[in-house]
């Protein structure tokens, strides 16, 4: 415990390792019983492995349980993995997903409460109190970002400004007029705002900003320095994913040395992505989460595809919650562009609409003026080609429109000559990410 | 009466046009007429050559995307006003032209105009009846 630090929930945030293990084991046993009895998918999976709820006596037995993959959520779209009757689901969210099959998540009243709790811890870690004015510039809607931060901020008792994303000039005016002290948005948007401020002639001294919680996309130490310098704030890294709950899964503290995972709600493991073996603390590998308090959509050993490592040492801030390193990569090919999850294969399904065979394509991602830009190179083929310029331009336009409606992001489409896109043995290299994150 | 024109997709990169002409040149293909339709990102190179089928094959082998389009070749007087006169006639008979380009032949006093229209067969009839010289493909390929 550190005298200078304010905790939202000291009991759990500074709990001894032994006590935490006991709490986790109790909650895990309950969760396994719940999914075994209420979710056919999990019952079948466990039966196939010859496991019964009675076999799980502590977190040591976690490794006996089967894994859950994103595909499982897709296969059981929309509500197949829910563990409660639908009448008890009070909120539905979905993550930016593939054509037709978004990842759908559901919350009971208690889950919403749990979410507000972990988010309140997150905001308090960044220094928020009931005196704070929190500007939530994450998108409100099916995306978990906006509402997730909102409920946590209200729980803290701060004054919430639910502005959502976009309309940057207005955002800055409001920061100035309403006296925002804490900003919540994606790190690249924060930099974009800083630039807009410069153009508007608004100086950071004119604002009351103290800190910001930034997540939903990877960002570098260099970007953090830039944000802190330009906005005059403390920039805190936060981590979350809709499947586990949304924002609020892990957060940095004022010492900025790894993100504390709210492990009394979400048990983390690190596995070898190929063998699925659990790796010892300190090893780099794929992050897996088991939710132990969620009722609506409990998940057992969900593979996040994020690569990181865990540190169980007690932090200088006094929190004993295990820390995860900033995510260093993914074990799949997912990209995050302007906070939106993009799978290269989604581009492929768009291109399949154009003709019989999907042409070769390459995604070029870059960051220009602090905004992510996506360019899609599509190889011209015999099927697409026409003597008429207009017909080819129409194809270009159609691809761009379909990408925007499927992914929700604007991409520039460039038609290139055949054989100019690199061919490779085995898995095709579909992405050139020029951003230095 | 229909003439085969080959169209080639080109990225707006330097050297692409040179590459096409190099490939054709080294395979003994003679270019009679050339036109490029360009946009910001790409261009379509249109060629009238002495052996369109061969040209198409060779270019495809060398990795180009090629297609073949039927166009009409008409002869107009190679002197000031020659083209204007022909176009007036075309206007009068309501022919919708998608695109056109012209070049000078070595042999006759006629200049050649290549026309792309929606219904080439029908238009050829109309052109003939209006007294415009429509060239055969053999003639065009031999230019």
Chain B residue numbers with beta carbons less than 8 Å from the beta carbon of A417 are 9-11, 16, 63-65
Q: Note whether A302 and A368 are same-domain residues.
A: no
- Write the CB contacts of B136 (distance below 8 Å, at least 6 apart in sequence): B1
Q: Does B4 touch chain A (CB under 8 A)?
A: no
**Regions of chain B short of the pLDDT cut 70:** 106-108
> What does pTM read for this prediction?
0.77
Cβ within 8 Å, pair B11-A385: no
**Which domains does chain B show, CATH number per domain?**
3-69 (3.30.2130.10), 70-141 (3.30.70.260)
- Write the CB contacts of B87 (distance below 8 Å, at least 6 apart in sequence): none
Q: Best of B3, B4, B6, B9 to disrupt the A interface by mutation (most A CBs within 10 Å)? A: B9
Cβ within 8 Å, pair A419-B63: yes
Q: Note whether A318 and A387 are same-domain residues.
A: no
% helix, strand, coil for chain A, step of 5: 35, 25, 40
| Domain boundary residue, one of A283, A312, A332 | A332
Bridge-partner residues for A432, per DSSP? A364
- Tens place of pLDDT per residue across chain A (437 aa): 777 889 999 999 999 999 999 999 999 999 999 999 999 999 999 999 999 999 999 999 999 999 999 999 989 999 999 999 999 999 999 986 544 468 899 999 999 999 999 999 999 999 999 999 999 999 899 999 999 999 999 999 999 999 998 899 999 999 999 999 999 999 989 998 998 999 999 999 999 999 999 998 888 888 899 999 999 999 999 999 999 999 999 999 999 999 999 999 999 999 999 999 999 999 999 999 999 999 999 999 999 999 999 999 999 999 999 999 999 888 888 888 888 888 887 888 788 877 766 678 899 999 988 889 999 999 888 888 888 888 889 988 999 998 888 878 889 999 998 888 877 665 667 888 898 77
Q: Note whether A343 and A324 are same-domain residues.
A: no
Q: Note whether A145 and A32 are same-domain residues.
A: yes
pLDDT at B108: 67
Q: Best of B42, B68, B120 to disrupt the A interface by mutation (most A CBs within 10 Å)? A: B42
Q: Note whether A305 and A422 are same-domain residues.
A: no
Q: Can you give the CATH number for the domain in which A391 is found?
A: 3.30.300.30
Q: How many domains does chain A have?
A: 2
* Assigned domain for A214 exists: yes
pLDDT per residue as tens digits for the range B81-107: 888 888 887 777 777 888 999 888 766
Q: Does B35 touch chain A (CB under 8 A)?
A: no
* Assigned domain for A82 exists: yes
| Domain boundary residue, one of A332, A348, A377 | A332
* Assigned domain for A221 exists: yes
- Write the CB contacts of A78 (distance below 8 Å, at least 6 apart in sequence): A104
Domain coverage including residue A366: 336-433
Distance CA A93, CA A240 (A): 14
Q: Does B36 touch chain A (CB under 8 A)?
A: no
DSSP result, A245-298:
TEEEEEE--TT-SSEEE-TTTEEEEEE-TTT-PBPPTT--EEEEEEESS-SSS-
Classify residue B26 by burial, with Cβ atoms within 10 Å: 0-12, 13-18, 19+: exposed
Distance CA B52, CA A392 (A): 22
Classify residue B61 by burial, with Cβ atoms within 10 Å: 0-12, 13-18, 19+: exposed
Q: Does B57 touch chain A (CB under 8 A)?
A: no
* Assigned domain for A1 exists: no
Q: Note whether A243 and A389 are same-domain residues.
A: no
Bridge-partner residues for A208, per DSSP? none
Tokens 């780099």, located at residue: A284
Distance CA A348, CA A18 (A): 49
* Assigned domain for A5 exists: no
Q: Note whether A277 and A390 are same-domain residues.
A: no
% helix, strand, coil for chain B, step of 5: 30, 40, 30
N-term to C-term CA, chain B: 15
* Assigned domain for A4 exists: no
**Alpha carbon of residue A297 to chain centroid:** 17
pLDDT at A356: 64
Q: Compare all CA atoms of chain A with the CA of B5 and give the residue at the minimum distance.
A: A387
* Assigned domain for A2 exists: no
**Dihedral sign of CA atoms B52, B54, B56, B59 in order:** negative
Q: Note whether A340 and A315 are same-domain residues.
A: no
Other CB atoms within a 10 A radius of the CB of residue B2 amount to: 15
ipTM of the complex: 0.81
Strand arrangement of the beta sheet that strand A323-324 belongs to: A159-161, A133-136, A182-185, A211-214, A234-241, A246-251, A259-261, A323-324, A310-311
Strand pairing class (B42-49; B97-104): unpaired
| Domain boundary residue, one of A276, A297, A332 | A332
Q: Note whether A87 and A211 are same-domain residues.
A: yes
Q: Note whether A265 and A389 are same-domain residues.
A: no
Query: Which letter does DSSP use for residue A423 in this model?
Result: P
- Of B37, B42, B65, nearest to A382 by CB-CB distance is B65
Q: Can you give the CATH number for the domain in which A169 is found?
A: 3.40.50.12780
Chain A residue numbers with beta carbons less than 8 Å from the beta carbon of B5 are 387
- Write the CB contacts of A426 (distance below 8 Å, at least 6 apart in sequence): none
Q: Note whether A292 and A395 are same-domain residues.
A: no
* Assigned domain for A3 exists: no
Tokens 């009238």, located at residue: B48
Structure tokens at A224: 């953090």
- Of A387, A414, A417, nearest to B44 by CB-CB distance is A387
Q: Note whether A255 and A399 are same-domain residues.
A: no
pLDDT at A100: 47
């Amino acid at each position: 415990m550190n005298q200078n630090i304010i905790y939202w929930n000291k009991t759990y945030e500074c709990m001894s390792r032994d006590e935490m293990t006991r709490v986790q084991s109790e909650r895990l046993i309950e969760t396994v019983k719940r999914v075994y009895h209420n979710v056919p998918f999990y019952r079948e999976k466990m039966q196939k492995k010859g496991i019964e709820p009675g076999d799980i006596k502590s977190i040591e037995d976690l490794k006996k349980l089967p894994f859950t993959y994103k595909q499982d959520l897709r296969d059981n779209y929309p509500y197949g993995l829910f563990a409660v009757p639908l009448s008890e689901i009070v909120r539905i969210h979905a993550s930016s997903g593939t054509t037709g099959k978004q990842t759908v998540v559901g919350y009971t009243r208690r889950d919403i409460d749990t979410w507000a709790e972990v988010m309140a811890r997150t905001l308090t870690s960044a220094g928020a109190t009931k005196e704070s004015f929190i500007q939530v510039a994450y998108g409100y809607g099916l995306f978990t970002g906006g509402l997730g931060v909102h409920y946590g901020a209200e729980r803290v008792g701060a004054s919430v400004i639910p502005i959502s994303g976009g309309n940057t000039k207005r955002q800055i005016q409001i920061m100035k007029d309403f006296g925002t002290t804490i900003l919540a948005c994606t790190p690249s948007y924060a930099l974009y705002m800083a630039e807009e401020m410069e153009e508007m002639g608004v100086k950071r001294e004119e604002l009351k900003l103290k800190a910001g919680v930034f997540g939903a996309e990877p960002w570098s130490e260099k970007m953090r320095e830039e944000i802190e310098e330009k906005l005059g704030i403390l920039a805190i890294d936060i981590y979350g994913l809709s499947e586990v709950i949304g924002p609020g899964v892990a957060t940095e503290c004022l010492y900025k040395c790894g993100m504390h995972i709210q492990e009394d709600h979400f048990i983390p493991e690190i596995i070898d992505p190929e063998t699925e073996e659990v790796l010892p603390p300190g090893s780099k590998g794929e992050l897996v989460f088991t939710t132990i308090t969620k009722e609506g959509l409990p998940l057992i050993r969900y593979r996040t595809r994020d690569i990181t490592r865990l540190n169980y040492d007690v932090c200088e801030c006094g929190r004993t919650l295990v820390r995860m390193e900033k995510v260093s990569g993914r074990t799949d090919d997912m990209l995050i562009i302007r906070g939106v999850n993009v799978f290269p294969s989604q581009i492929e399904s768009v291109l399949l609409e154009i003709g019989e065979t999907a042409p070769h394509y390459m995604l070029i991602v870059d960051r220009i003026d602090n905004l992510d830009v996506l360019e899609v190179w599509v190889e011209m083929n015999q099927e697409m080609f026409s003597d008429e310029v207009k017909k080819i331009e129409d194809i270009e336009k159609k691809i761009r429109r379909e990408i925007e409606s499927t992914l929700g992001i604007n991409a520039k489409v460039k038609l290139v000559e055949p054989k100019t896109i690199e061919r490779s043995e085995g898995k095709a290299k579909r992405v050139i990410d020029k951003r230095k994150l | 009466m229909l003439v085969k024109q080959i169209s080639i997709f080109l990225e707006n990169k330097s050297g692409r046009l040179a590459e096409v002409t190099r490939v054709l040149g080294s395979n003994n293909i003679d270019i009679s007429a050339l036109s490029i339709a360009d946009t910001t990102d790409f261009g379509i190179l249109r060629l009238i050559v002495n052996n369109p089928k061969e040209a198409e094959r060779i270019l495809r082998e060398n990795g180009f995307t090629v297609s073949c389009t039927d166009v009409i070749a008409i002869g107009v007087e190679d002197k000031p006003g020659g083209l204007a006169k022909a176009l007036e006639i075309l206007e009068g008979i309501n022919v919708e032209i998608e695109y056109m380009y012209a070049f000078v032949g070595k042999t006759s006093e006629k200049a050649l105009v290549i026309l792309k229209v929606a219904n080439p067969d029908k238009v050829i009839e109309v052109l003939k009846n209006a007294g415009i010289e429509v060239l055969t493909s053999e003639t065009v390929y031999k230019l």
